């Protein structure tokens, strides 16, 4: 089911999104060589709860943690681990979902650990730009295929990276996952037409190598690239409005000025 949100509901989701944004801003200062991924989990959960939110991933389909912390060739959904210590040059992705007074938000971000290689920095830059290319297509009257086609053309045709197909964006709020499914690939002009009040996640996962991924048979959650190439991800919650796409999880109001609710 697709729910169309009122302005009041969008404001509530933006308040939830502000908690995630603050958490990610804190991560930028926290993440460094020598840190365990469990310390990232502890920081994330404490930040969410101390700001009145609920870490909504806990208990979702049996998941036990407030965050997923995926490193290097881990694409998504990896558990935070006490024994996994970040090294200089690593690439870590942190994802979480926050519920605040019934309003949900969802955001993932990629972080360079210390000094990363030029190749890793380019992967991060391209993935972040792909996110905003997708957001720019989230216009009233456009179709879901316009978002996916724009992202896929930029990632694969222009840069030769692998654009993950197996995991995609989704509708969000009043539940964590709802319709519509939001692929990061597709055909322009095809798919569901976007309407005011829709709220969706756009969250491209981009691999240095091929787009193929596999899920760990050991824990049933961790997603890795099949070819061992490294992966980056960025994610925002976006509201479809008559005034254009509005980011509800913005970390930078200056950079995102044209995408904020008025």
Residue 181's pLDDT is what? 98
Mean pLDDT over 1-20 rounds to 97
Residue 105's pLDDT is what? 98
Structural domain contains residue 1 = no
Q: How do residues 15-41 score in pLDDT, each as one tens digit? A: 999 999 999 999 999 999 999 999 999
In Å, how far are 14, 15, 98, 169 from 179, measured between CA atoms?
19, 22, 18, 10
Mean pLDDT over 100-116 rounds to 98
Structural domain contains residue 127 = yes
Does 219 carry a binding-site annotation?
Answer: no
Structural domain contains residue 2 = no
Residue 178's pLDDT is what? 96
In SS3 terms, 161-202 reads as: CEECCCCCEEECCCCCCEEEEECCCCCCCCCCECCCCCEEEE
Residue 108's pLDDT is what? 98
Does 95 carry a binding-site annotation?
Answer: yes
Residue 228's pLDDT is what? 98
- Between helix 144-152 and helix 118-136 the angle, nearest 10°, is 160
Does 177 carry a binding-site annotation?
Answer: yes
Number of domains within the chain: 1
Q: How far apart are CA 26 and CA 77, in angstroms?
A: 21
Residue 127's pLDDT is what? 98
Does 51 carry a binding-site annotation?
Answer: no
User: Does the reported pTM lie above 0.95?
Assistant: yes
Q: How do residues 38-82 score in pLDDT, each as one tens digit? A: 999 999 999 999 999 999 999 999 999 999 999 999 999 999 999
Q: What distance separates the 2 farthest-apart alpha carbons in the chain? A: 49
Does 106 carry a binding-site annotation?
Answer: yes
Residue 11's pLDDT is what? 98
Residue 143's pLDDT is what? 98
Structural domain contains residue 228 = yes
Residue 185's pLDDT is what? 98
Percent of the chain with pLDDT over 70: 100
Residue 96's pLDDT is what? 98
Residue 205's pLDDT is what? 98
Q: What's the DSSP call for residue 115?
A: S
CB-CB contact of 215 with 167 (8 Å): no
Q: Could you tell me whether strands 213-215 and 199-202 are parallel, antiparallel, or unpaired per DSSP bridges?
A: unpaired
Q: How do residues 138-160 score in pLDDT, each as one tens digit? A: 999 999 999 999 999 999 999 99
Residue 54's pLDDT is what? 98
Does 153 carry a binding-site annotation?
Answer: no
- Confidence at 97, pLDDT banded by 50, 70, 90: very high
Structural domain contains residue 76 = yes
Does 203 carry a binding-site annotation?
Answer: yes
Q: How do residues 190-234 score in pLDDT, each as one tens digit? A: 999 999 999 999 999 999 999 999 999 999 999 999 999 999 999
Residue 115's pLDDT is what? 98
Q: CATH number, domain at 187? A: 3.90.230.10
Burial class from Cβ neighbours inside 10 Å (0-12, 13-18, 19+) for residue 108 reads buried
Q: How far is CA 156 from the centre of its chain?
A: 19
Structural domain contains residue 170 = yes
Domain of 31 in residue numbering reads as: 7-259
Residue-wise DSSP of 121-176 = HHHHHHHHHHHHHHHHT--TT-BHHHHHHHHHIIIIIIT--EE--SS-EEE-SSSS
- Confidence at 95, pLDDT banded by 50, 70, 90: very high
Residue 69's pLDDT is what? 98
């Amino acid at each position: 089911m697709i729910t169309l949100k009122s302005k009041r509901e969008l404001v509530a989701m933006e308040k939830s999104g502000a908690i995630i944004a603050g958490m990610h801003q804190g991560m930028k200062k926290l993440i460094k060589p020598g840190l365990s991924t469990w310390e990232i989990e502890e920081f994330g959960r404490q930040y969410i709860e101390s700001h009145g939110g609920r870490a909504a991933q806990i208990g979702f389909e049996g998941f036990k943690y407030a965050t997923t912390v995926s490193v290097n060739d881990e694409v998504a959904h990896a558990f935070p681990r006490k024994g996994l210590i970040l090294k200089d040059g690593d690439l870590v992705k942190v994802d979480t979902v926050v519920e605040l007074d019934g309003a949900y938000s969802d955001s993932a971000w990629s972080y360079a650990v210390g000094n990363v290689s030029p190749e890793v920095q380019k992967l991060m830059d391209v993935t972040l730009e792909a996110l905003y290319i997708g957001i720019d297509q989230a216009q009233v009257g456009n179709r879901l295929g316009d978002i996916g086609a724009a992202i896929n053309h930029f990632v694969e045709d222009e840069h030769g990276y692998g654009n993950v197909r197996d995991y995609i964006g989704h509708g969000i709020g009043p539940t964590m996952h709802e319709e519509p499914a939001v692929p990061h690939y597709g055909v322009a002009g095809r798919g569901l037409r976007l309407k005011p009040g829709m709220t969706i996640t756009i969250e491209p996962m981009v691999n240095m190598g091929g787009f193929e991924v596999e899920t760990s048979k050991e824990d049933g959650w961790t997603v890795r690239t099949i070819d061992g190439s490294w992966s980056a991800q960025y994610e925002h919650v976006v509201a479809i409005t008559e005034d254009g796409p509005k980011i509800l999880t913005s970390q930078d109001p200056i950079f995102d000025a044209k995408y904020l609710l008025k």
